Amino acid sequence: MSQYLNYAIELAKMVDGQTGLNPPVGAVVVNRGRIVGLGAHLKKGDKHAEVQALDMAKDAAKGGTIYISLEPCTHFGSTPPCVNKIIEHGLKKVVYAVKDTTLPSNGDEILNSHGIEVEFRPHNEAEALYKDFFIAKNEAIPQVTVKVSCSLDGKQATDMGESKWITNKSVKQDVFKLRHQHDAVLTGKGTLEADNPQYTTRIEQGRNPIRVILSKSGQINFDLDMFNHPSEQIWIYTENDNLVSNIDRVTVIALTDCSIKNILEDLYEKGIGRLLVEAGPTVTSLFLQSNYINELIIYYAPKLIGGSGRNQFFHTETVVELAEVPQFEVVNSDMLEQNIKLELRKK
């Protein structure tokens, strides 16, 4: 165990959700028991964590050790290889917590050949941090979180479509944080019309996500609030070739087949690494039935709405046997005043 490796992982966690298609990485340079440099990769295209930390350390890095949450890169991407920078600064040792399975891994040999000791020190928390990132990168689709606010009987709205507000103000604040941690928020036209939402992040220094709207029909009412205050870009996925918009920051993307897979592949190509789905039961159910969901977050209010099965957050056309239903594991639970937050991962 090393406190310095833990610091590097903490730095990586701090920038988790803001690095787009790149992984969140933290690095700490230590020499003779003193921290001489700290760094985190802040966004795609920016300096890598190792480079930030070594630039801070300057000559004080010579003979020291660098602790990194992820194996240093050996390739020329939008920035030069980090192993080169480590060699240039004359470090004695490199310690990292996770091997990057998405890149050619010959960094250890390159560093060893320059007399630098390398230690791969596996770390559970760091592994969990990169697990979904590696899958998303290999499959070239974003990491997907589905968020649902509902009553105890799983209703996102009453049969009359009333949904403001089922859950409480603390949930609202928590959802603002979720938006901040994702590159884009996706919803369906049903929600756009029923709730007239903004999907902004009303927290201090909050980053507004790109808004993604699904409407196969392309029957969009451009008088809604979101289009009148487009603080961030709005992308509309449709199968209607005739849909056009002259509104600044609104882009129409017409696909011949608006399947979840096609939409996700296109979003990843456009730089979306993390996607939050905040939709009504139609789109929510589509995602929950797909294989493209990493995390499900449910906020339960202690209410029973009743009525028919309408607006139940999960519904399917066919009923499958219990052994075949989507299964989740609970990774965390929290009380937000009188509401319960459940964080689940698809098995």
Ligand X SMILES: NC(=O)c1ccc[n+]([C@@H]2O[C@H](COP(=O)([O-])OP(=O)(O)OC[C@H]3O[C@@H](n4cnc5c(N)ncnc54)[C@H](OP(=O)(O)O)[C@@H]3O)[C@@H](O)[C@H]2O)c1
Nearer to ligand X, 134 or 314 (CB): 314
Q: Which of residues 239-258 bind ligand X (CB under 6 A)?
A: 258
Encoding tokens for residue 295?
């995390």
Output the CA angle 10-134-115, nearest 5 degrees.
65
50 in active site: yes
Query: Is position 300 an interface residue for ligand X (rule: CB under 6 A)?
Result: no
Query: Is position 145 an interface residue for ligand X (rule: CB under 6 A)?
Result: no
Output the CA angle 326-327-328, nearest 5 degrees.
130
Query: Is position 233 an interface residue for ligand X (rule: CB under 6 A)?
Result: no
Please identify which of the residues 50, 71, 278, 295 carries the catalytic annotation: 50
Neighbours of 336 (CB within 10 A): 18
Listing DSSP states for 171-240 in one string gives HHHHHHHHHHTSSEEEEEHHHHHHH-------STTPPPPEEEEE-SS----TTSHHHHS-SS-EEEEES-
Query: Is position 187 an interface residue for ligand X (rule: CB under 6 A)?
Result: yes
If DSSP codes are grouped into helix, strand and coil, which group holds residue 340? strand
CB of 17 to ligand X, least distance (A): 20
Listing DSSP states for 242-285 in one string gives T----STTEEEEE-S---HHHHHHHHHHTT--EEEE---HHHHH
Query: Is position 279 an interface residue for ligand X (rule: CB under 6 A)?
Result: yes
Stretch that binds ligand X, among 9-17, 106-114, 119-127, 272-280 (CB under 6 A): 272-280
- Choice from 282, 315, 326, 342 touching ligand X (CB under 6 A): 282
Nearer to ligand X, 18 or 284 (CB): 284
From residue 302 to residue 331, what is the string marking binding to ligand X with x (rule CB under 6 A)?
---------x--------------------
Catalytic positions, please? 50
The footprint of ligand X (CB under 6 A) covers 148-150, 156-157, 161, 163, 166, 187-191, 194-195, 214-217, 219, 237, 258, 278-283, 286, 311
